Structure 1
Amino acid sequence: MTRLAPLALRFLALGIMATSLGGCSLFGMNFAFNRMSEKECMMRAMYFESNRSSSEGMLAVGTVVMNRLGDPRYPKSVCEVVGQKNQFAQGVLTKPMTDSGAILASQVADQVLRGQRHPGVQNAQHFHTAGLRFPYNNMFYVLEAGGNEFYEKRTVR
């Protein structure tokens, strides 16, 4: 082994550590995802998806996460639900939370994880930005809150 090999291994180890600390992916593995608490994943979903708008908007997003968690078609943990590809805002588990909205998200996450739900969300497992409309007849809207419209997908007869 040459003298460069140990140096190269050190740089590789440092690169892996830096990547995992930054929440990035290395070889398709997301190291940050595996070390986040359920509360942090919930906070991040509410923070980024509600546009830090209000406790009502955050509670509604948290209710959707929990509705999905209770459905066998979705993953079995808060972090897996929030991290599911193409379901929540891009970077929801990796972007920094940079303003006071994180404090509110923390408080509301505690409430959601203790069982509080937004009654207006009902059984909705989906939402999108308020003001948008799609031509699908299986979308039953139940609530507008926090800049989002929440809806249930129902079978059309």
Structure 2
Amino acid sequence: MAFGGLFLVMAFAFAGHYLGQNAVAHNADPGDVLESVASPSSNILAKGSLMPQAASLDIVNRSSTQVVALGGKGDFVVKAPKVAEAAEKAVQIVPAAINLEEESEESEERTALAPSPRQVEKAMKLKRSAAKDKDTKKEIHQRRVQLAEENCLARAIYFEARSESELGQVAVAKVILNRVKDPEYPKTICGVVYQGSGRRNSCQFSFACDGLPDDVKSAASWSQAKRLAKKVIAGDAKVAALTTATNYHADYVKPKWAKSMKRLVKIGRHIFYEDS
């Protein structure tokens, strides 16, 4: 009995092992390519009586495969389609607060609106040129006015006092400049010299409205008159007694206006007055 029981146990054990091996061979798919080392068979198959009848044996001896997401690992690499596809696609990370298209358009617009260095340099040159031209025109105008004023004063010295001494000629010029400063008279030398010259014998200086041509016949006297005119305009000729003089007349005439004015000094044949 004992020997018979031992024999039965060994028979059942051998049968269980044989069935387990057949189950592994039956469940393996002939088309499967084992790309990695299969895990050892479970001993559970050797205890078939312990498995539920409805249990599936698909989990037993299934080959485990190591999938490497990164490329370049030889025969052990199994390319996962979804991972490869995602890796091949270009990924662009854009912050939610930035619109690349709008930013690009604004950048291009700013670039288009910004002047180039050459345009800036050209504009600066034109500006400097315009300023220089303006200054040049201003200087030319001032020079012309100065020459006109000197000419008017020189003509008054020449025609009114060329026979007088240098002091007498300067005195006549000082009267003219004093009138320019007086609000009762014109504001320019030429305006003072030729005031009232539109009517004969109605002007302030007789040569300007006496009807005779103003021809310069003495070059020396004219040269001196121009020199003194420049000197007086520059403020280099001062006569203390004539600081307020606005009128004068020759000593051989007696104008009516002289009675209402204050006499200051006589220089040569001219008597000078100030408004009292």
Same fold (TM over 0.5): yes
| Deviations 1:10-37, CA, capped at 9 Å, x for gaps | xxxxxxxxxxxxxxxxxxxxxxxx9x71
Equivalence for 2:265: 143
Within a 5 Å distance, the mapping from 1:86-101 to structure 2 comes to 86-91=203-208, 95-99=214-218, 100-101=220-221
Q: Rate the CA distance shift 1:105–1:146 in 2: closer, same or farther, 3 A.
A: farther
Structure 1 unaligned spans of 5+? 1-33
Q: Distance in 2 between matches of 1:122 and 1:133?
A: 23
Q: Distance in 2 between matches of 1:51 and 1:132?
A: 18
Equivalence for 2:189: 78
Name the TM-score, length of structure 2 as normaliser. Answer: 0.40
Q: Distance in 2 between matches of 1:97 and 1:146?
A: 22
SS of the counterpart of 1:87?
coil
RMSD after superposition: 2.3
Shift of the alpha carbon at 1:51?
3.8
Equivalence for 2:159: 48
Q: Distance in 1 between matches of 2:165 and 2:186?
A: 27
Equivalence for 1:106: 226
* Percent identity of equivalent pairs: 30
Structure 2 unaligned spans of 5+? 1-144, 197-202
Whether the 8 Å contact between 1:57 and 1:146 is mirrored in structure 2 is yes
By relative contact order (CA 8 Å, sep 6+), the higher-ranking structure is 1
Aligned residues: 120
**Structure showing the higher helix proportion among its residues:** 2
Q: Distance in 1 between matches of 2:224 and 2:266?
A: 19
Name the TM-score, length of structure 1 as normaliser. Answer: 0.68
SS of the counterpart of 2:186?
coil
The one-letter code of the counterpart of 1:58 is Q
